[in-house]
A and B are shown apart, each in its own frame.
Chain A
Amino acid sequence: MRKYSFLWMLLPAFILYSVFIAYPFFSSLGLSFYDWPGIGPKKFIGLANYKNILSGFMSSEFYNALWHNVVFFIWSLILSVVPGLFFAFLLAANMKGTGWLKVVFFFPNTLAIVVVGFLWGLLLNPQWGLINQLFRVVGLDFLAKPWLGDTKTALPTIIFVTAWRGLGFYILIYLAAILGVDREMIEAARIDGASELQIASRIILPHLYSIIATTSMLKFIWTFNIFDIVYAMEGTQGGPAGSTDVLGTLFYRIAFGGLGASQVGMGLGATVVTLIFLIVLPVSIFYVFIVEKRVEKGE
């Protein structure tokens, strides 16, 4: 038994993680079969919650929010990978004096999402906001729009603001991956007469596919955490007219109520969670599998 005396050091993390992270996901599954406002006796109702959400009175709200999550994922993926790679390549040239830029690029990442939301909310104010005033000053009046008040532009605007905050993180991650590519291979290509663009696209880029894949998977999973930015910029109802409603805000309204909640219930909320979990699960398993493989292989 003494042989395993080290195991106690694993226990605190194991227990905390199990109770507060792992168990809640199973517990949500259990709750999803009940009608329960959060207090008092639970009433078992089988799959009724699922029916209400997938095809019943909650379905239009649910699919609307789910669709916005998908849009959010696709666009924020594009807005992180493309400029992320581009700027990472620029930094990878290791030009003199670019060190401070890494700090600047990462800085927005350190700001709270609500702070970013409030800040951009003020900047995007249609009458007095700096953004529209800037457009007017430089003669781009047609761009001075009510960005957050139009159902067509509100979600793209929020996605843009999110990308603004997150880009630096991806630049640094991709930069790390680029710097990890075997130098001799690059030198050899250069001697063979390859241009820098060819080196970047044919030699380095293929080595980045796996990091792009894993960050994309993480991005997919994290997309379902989105809440703060919509809350700060458009409120819990995901206005205008539900055009920025995401599963995070929908779920918040269902579970914890508030103005604009058409239905309140912990059971119904847990059902939304379980459904999201089912969507995320395959990606999660795949991700853990890949990461573990890579760790096994010895980094």
Chain B
Amino acid sequence: MLKFNGFQKVLAWIFLLLLAFANLYPIGIMMLSSFKSTKEIFLEPFNLPSVWRWQNYVSAWQRADFATYFKNSVLVTALSIVSIIIVSSMAAYVIARFDFKFKRGVYLYMLAGLALPTRLAIIPIFLIMRNLHLLDKLSGLVIVYTASGIAFSVFLLVNFFKNLPRDIEDSAKIDGAGPFRIYWQIDLPLLKPALVTVAMFNFIDVWNDFFFPLILLSSKAKKTVPLGLQAFFGEYTVEWDVLFAALNISVLPILIVFLILSKQFIAGLTEGALK
């Protein structure tokens, strides 16, 4: 690829580090501030906390009922991702491997979901959920997320399926394995890296989504983390110490998951998951 000489390298590093700083500074401030008192945040914004106040976290956790929000978010996210993966990979397998009438039409139809701002469909979604008595239910959210994750996931997975070698499949077919068995026992295990990419993308989307819970949920016991955070910001507007702590609490899980999977995820992304 590009080759830089010494001077160019220095210049490149300066720019890269500047961007890294711009990315990390606000997040670092958020982390530092969460250990300060409100007064310190206001009056000594650039200093380290005089005392590391872990109690900010305790009080944010207790007052905001984060335990409930986390439970709900984890449940919704996990169920959504599992259903997205199962449903989309089956569909992608069929589209990538079989020929049938209207195949191209079906694929284009699903692809169109990539090119629709899904949130605009909220009025009918809301009405459907109301008729199905799924308002203020986590299962309602899971259904919406699964449906809205399909287009993108099918699109990614069809590409991956097409790149899989067919010879193992062919020998399995000769042994009399049906389509589902081939999909389940041979193709899925080979697709693991792709599935991680799909899962990570959907994880970011679902875990962070604020819009659908805002409209579809109402009671506190059902709130997910972003929605709970919003309520918390409305209630404790002047207590910046706990607000920063709450922000950190909400960021932590995604940070951990991302750091664990970042290598695979970024590899998946840069090796052409999206084109």
For B208, what are the chain A residues with a Cβ–Cβ distance below 8 Å? 110-115
> By the criterion CB–CB under 8 Å, are A87 and B16 in contact?
yes
Known contacts A115-B247, A276-B120: A292-B266 contact under CB 8 Å: no
Known contacts A9-B93, A227-B211: A92-B2 contact under CB 8 Å: yes
Known contacts A103-B262, A115-B226: A93-B3 contact under CB 8 Å: yes
Which of B23, B122, B143, B226 is within 8 Å of A107, CB to CB?
B23
Number of A-B contacts (CB under 8 A): 285
Chain A binder among B59-67, B101-109, B164-172: B101-109
Query: For the complex, would chain A's binding face be called helix, strand, loop or mixed by DSSP majority?
Result: helix
For B155, what are the chain A residues with a Cβ–Cβ distance below 8 Å? 291
**Which parts of B138-177 form the interface with A (CB within 8 Å)?**
143-144, 146-148, 150-151, 154-155, 158-159, 162-163
> By the criterion CB–CB under 8 Å, are A17 and B24 in contact?
no
> By the criterion CB–CB under 8 Å, are A119 and B90 in contact?
no
Chain A binder among B49-57, B188-196, B250-258: B250-258
For B162, what are the chain A residues with a Cβ–Cβ distance below 8 Å? 299
For A110, what are the chain B residues with a Cβ–Cβ distance below 8 Å? 204, 208, 254-255, 258
Known contacts A113-B210, A211-B275, A288-B108: A10-B91 contact under CB 8 Å: yes
Q: Is B30 an interface residue (CB 8 A)?
A: yes
Chain B residues within CB distance 8 Å of chain A: 1-4, 8-9, 12-13, 15-16, 19-20, 22-24, 26-27, 29-30, 41-42, 45-46, 86-88, 90-91, 93-95, 98, 100, 106-125, 127-128, 143-144, 146-148, 150-151, 154-155, 158-159, 162-163, 178-180, 183, 204, 207-211, 215, 225-226, 229-230, 233, 240, 243-244, 247, 250-251, 254-255, 258-259, 262, 266, 269-275
Chain A residues within CB distance 8 Å of chain B: 4-7, 9-10, 12-14, 16-17, 19-25, 27-28, 31, 83, 86-87, 89-95, 98, 101-115, 118-120, 122-123, 128, 130, 133, 137, 164, 167-168, 172-173, 175-180, 183, 186, 190, 196, 199-200, 211, 214, 217-218, 221-222, 224-225, 227-228, 231-232, 248, 251, 255-256, 266, 269-270, 273, 276-277, 280, 283-285, 287-288, 291-292, 294-295, 299
* 20 pairs from A and B in contact (CB 8 Å cutoff): A7-B94, A9-B94, A13-B110, A23-B124, A25-B116, A87-B16, A90-B12, A93-B2, A95-B9, A103-B259, A107-B23, A107-B27, A112-B209, A115-B226, A119-B30, A128-B45, A164-B23, A176-B271, A266-B123, A284-B115
